[in-house]
Amino acid sequence: MRPVSAADECAATAKGRATMGHPIQRISRPAGGESQSADTDRARLLERVAIGLAHEGKNPLHNMALHLQLMSEKLASPERIGGSPIEKHLTALRDGIGRVDALLRSFGEFAHPEHLPPDLGAAVRRALQLFAYDARRATVQVIQQGPASLIVKSDSAVLGDLVAHAFLACIENARDGGRVLVSIDVNGGLAELELRGDGGVGNREQALPFLDAARRLAPEAECELSIETPPAGGARLSLSFIQPR
């Protein structure tokens, strides 16, 4: 007979406890699936924002650099009759600086939305501005209707993400020649945001992650979400929020 080892004693003790009605405690993995999904959804948006920000910020800055060069050349030349020759360059510089300022402000609000009011109109403006490059790259026309500001009962920490995911889902469903109609309306005590993407070739597979994210975020944003994806193509998303009294 072989000698009893420490491992044999541990196994016998565990078996005895299980037989006596004391179940062996198992180590379970903590439930963090929802948190990981939220992080994945956020990362997907930030990746798109970073690409668009690099492109949208680069163009006006290069344009400003060009006009600065032209200004320096004209300032070195004799004064012309009939007004300043650099006025149009100054106007272009002001416009370019304004575009970059608005873009970076929207990016800052998107990155830290917790301090913002739950403004549905502002959330739509940010989404359309930050993902304008996505729309152009997909050859999708974007049409916006409705007020620029509309306070709703929602969590500002997730409201912007919900609108962004809905917008990107419609872009993907209207990809290659379609259009996205974004409209805000007030119906009684409800604020309703409707996004409709159709008319293009579309790519439903690429739209699915954004639709899934919108479904997950809607309850957190106190939003009633309706999604329609007709067999013929396209998508229609309706987001309803209660207006605060």
Rounded Cα distance, 94 and 67, in Å: 11
Tokens matching residue 24: 């062996």
Full-model pTM: 0.74
pLDDT digit of tens for each residue in the chain (245 aa)?
A: 455 555 555 444 444 444 434 443 433 444 556 667 877 888 888 878 877 877 787 778 788 888 878 877 777 666 655 556 777 888 888 888 888 888 888 888 888 888 899 999 999 999 999 999 999 999 999 999 999 999 999 999 999 999 999 999 999 999 999 999 999 999 999 999 999 999 999 999 999 999 999 999 999 999 999 999 999 999 999 999 999 98
192 membership: H or E segment, kind and range: strand 190-198
In whole angstroms, give the CA distance from residue 92 to residue 67: 7
Question: CA distances (Å), 225 to each of 71, 85, 184, 202, 214, in order?
Answer: 52, 55, 14, 22, 8
Q: Which domains does the chain have, with CATH numbers?
A: 38-76+86-242 (3.30.565.10)
Q: In terms of Cα–Cα distance, which of 211, 130, 230, 121 is closest to 166?
A: 211
First to last CA, the chain: 83
Cα–Cα dist 173/196, whole Å: 9
Q: Determine contact, residues 132/142, Cβ cutoff 8 Å.
A: yes
Dist. CA 85–CA 108, nearest whole Å: 36
Neighbour count for residue 67 (Cβ, 10 Å): 18
Token pair recorded at residue 116 = 């913002």
Non-local (6+) Cβ contacts of 199 within 8 A are 174, 177, 178, 179, 234
